[in-house]
Amino acid sequence: MDSPAIRDRTVLVTGGAGFIGSHLVDALHPHNEVRVLDTFTTGTRAYLPDGVTVIEGDIRDPIALQKAARGVDIIFHHAALVSVSQSVEAPRQSNETNLEASLLLLEQARQEDARVVVASSAAVYGHPEDLPVSETTPTKPSSPYGVQKLALDQYTRLYEDLYDVETVALRYFNVYGPRQQGPYSGVISTFLEQARADEPITIEGDGKQSRDFVHISDVVRANLRAATTDAVGEAYNIGTGQQTTIEELAETIRDATGSSSPIVHCEPRPGDIRHSGADTSKATRELGFEARVGLESGIRSLVGEGQPAVADEEDGPAQNHHWESGSYS
């Protein structure tokens, strides 16, 4: 199913110059009035197309937020401090951005009568005992970041229940794709850099840990569906439903790049989640969302800087049949 068109709306994307936000802006701006609120601490101006209204500011600043959100119809909230390790080192600072400022945004949306689509995270589940995880899996976050995302996730849905603010929370699993960069950019971009330089591909731990990697184009489609669904006041897992071990990922990236990099192991990260994988049946049932991009296709598109192969509608969701079940934040 194609994503429903969003046209002739006034839309705000917080963190819109970042990895996910900028791809969402690209999808929205040809047919809508699009505003971006970003500090450009990690975001990149060059990612933003001409014709987008840019407000350089912090979501913690009520004045900047009010200016950016005045008169909007839809808010896509992607501004966040995304580092789990930084949230551990400075939980109060992380909380100010990830939760307190997000409450300001929800209040602003309430005043504007705007729909809000919030970027939540698989981090809300912590170390799940059973896989795949569904939206009814117990939430036991293992970091301040996960706690903050869970609180925002719950506040988001509560605002629909208490105040009739149309809200949707999207619990992203491991998103990857073009423009993913920086020290917290994810294992795929790190492995690609190492493979392209023929440097050792370094796996933290034994490589048997697993993740559900979802391509940025599928995440954008999920956001567009969340912005138009009638099934508001809900949280949805956004992944592929397929799991890949980190060792398999390293081998696939090495093959795709033609690299001679050795695969080496180092000490595991303290507190690292062992396995993660999404049950996406609720998103399929209520949003009409299914991931289309298989991981091998997505990686090869990154290597070749082209577009990934996408499953035809009649073919259903993307599959990676040759990989064992199993998901690396």
Active site residues: 145
Q: How far apart are CA 225 and CA 223, in angstroms?
A: 5
Q: Which two tokens stand for residue 99?
A: 């939760």
Cβ-contact 266, 202 below 8 angstroms: yes
Amino acid present at 234? E
Amino acid present at 62? P
CB atoms within 10 A of CB 37: 29
Q: How far apart are CA 133 and CA 127, in angstroms?
A: 10
Cβ-contact 33, 9 below 8 angstroms: yes
H-type helices in 113-163, by residue range?
Answer: 144-163
Scanning the structure block, which residue is given the tokens 């569906």?
Answer: 225
DSSP 226-279: HTT-S--SEEEEES-S--EEHHHHHHHHHHHHT--PPEEEEPPPTT--SB--B-
Cβ-contact 215, 176 below 8 angstroms: yes
Q: How far apart are CA 286 and CA 230, in angstroms?
A: 9
Cβ-contact 194, 260 below 8 angstroms: no
Q: Which residues pair with 55 in a beta bridge?
A: 37
